[in-house]
Amino acid sequence: VYDDNILANMGFAGDVSISSGRVKIRKRFLGWANFIFDTQSPFFDKPASEVVSLIVAGPRLKPNESNLSLAFDNFWNNTAWQHGDVLTKLFQTIVMAFLGTLLGSLAAFPLAFMAARNITPNRLLNQILKRFFDFLRSVDMLIWALFLTRAFGPGPLAGSGAIFLTETGTLGKLYSEGLENIDNKPREGVKSTGSSTVLVHRYGIIPQIVPVIVSQTLYQWESNVRGATIIGAVGAGGIGLKLWEAMRTNANWENVAYMVLLILIVVFLFDTASNALRSRLMGAQHR
């Protein structure tokens, strides 16, 4: 008993809170209260076997909606856990990282050719672009996100822009260093046939630089999935903002653990997929 409230702890099964005019039931799933269905759902407090039976072949609980659709809707719009909003924000974070990395690599690729001394023999242009890359990557992604949030307002546009600026500098430096370390013999061989500059780059340079481009770009995309979560906390959108909001209440630590677990799963999956894709593409380059 606590003041005018009575709390009955049912252990791992959940708890019941009774106050004046209100009874609150929390049924635990793996230690998380009302994780699948909240108390407003007609599936709440039903055994898993009964829920499956209702979804597969049971009578409709709502005449105009199938039980499968109703169960998904109740799960997606769970008021306690907000699965739909959390998963949507997580997907937003992944897209934000992908878009920022893609645009950064597309911008860095041509600039790297102009920054490489052995490709563009203009020392002033080389130095200007290399210092430009240094400037972009020396400003932390979080700082770019703060600037762009003030400029464009909170949301994924600011997050994608922050990743784009950082990756333009990082990938531009990596690509240009890769170009400066290529073997010049294939390039000279293609040039000796009288080929145009475009063909010399295509057949004498690109095949040598592709492994570096693929490897570094995939690694940066994987890293930016984590980075996008951090910059989301300053208003750049995605699951980072929702995670920060849950932490600020200092009460929804179960929701915080849920979102952290989802982020860890996504990072693990991207790390595995990125490593597999890099190994496959690099192996294809050496065959």
Whole-number Å distance between alpha carbons of 73 and 71: 5
When pLDDT is averaged across residues 152-163 and rounded to a whole number, the result is 88
Task: List Cβ neighbours of 122 (8 Å cut-off, separation of 6 or more).
Answer: 114
Residue 276 has pLDDT above 50, yes or no: yes
> Which amino acid makes up residue 25?
I
- Three-state secondary structure of 81-106: CCHHHHHHHHHHHHHHHHHHHHHHHH
pLDDT tens figures, 40-60: 888 887 888 888 888 888 888
Contact 6, 17 (CB under 8 A): yes
pTM for the full model?
0.77
Exposed/middle/buried for 113, CB within 10 Å: 0-12, 13-18, 19+? middle
Give the DSSP H or E segment for 166: helix 156-180
- Quote the pLDDT of residue 156: 86
For the CA atoms of the chain, what is the radius of gyration? 27
Structural domains in the chain plus CATH codes: 1-33 (no CATH), 41-81 (no CATH), 83-286 (1.10.3720.10)
Whole-number Å distance between alpha carbons of 78 and 74: 6
pLDDT tens figures, 21-36: 666 665 555 556 778 8
Tokens 């982020």 correspond to 263
Whole-number Å distance between alpha carbons of 138 and 221: 18
- Quote the pLDDT of residue 135: 94
When pLDDT is averaged across residues 95-109 and rounded to a whole number, the result is 93
Confidence tier at 134 by pLDDT (50, 70, 90):
very high
Joined tokens for residue 214: 């693929």
Contact 243, 256 (CB under 8 A): yes
b vs e for 168-204, b when ≥16 Cβ sit within 10 Å of the residue's Cβ? bbbbbbbbbebbeebeeeebeebbeeeeeeeebbebb
Residue 285 has pLDDT above 80, yes or no: no
Whole-number Å distance between alpha carbons of 82 and 258: 11
Whole-number Å distance between alpha carbons of 243 and 229: 9
Which of 269, 273, 244, 274 lies closest to 259 in space, CA to CA? 244
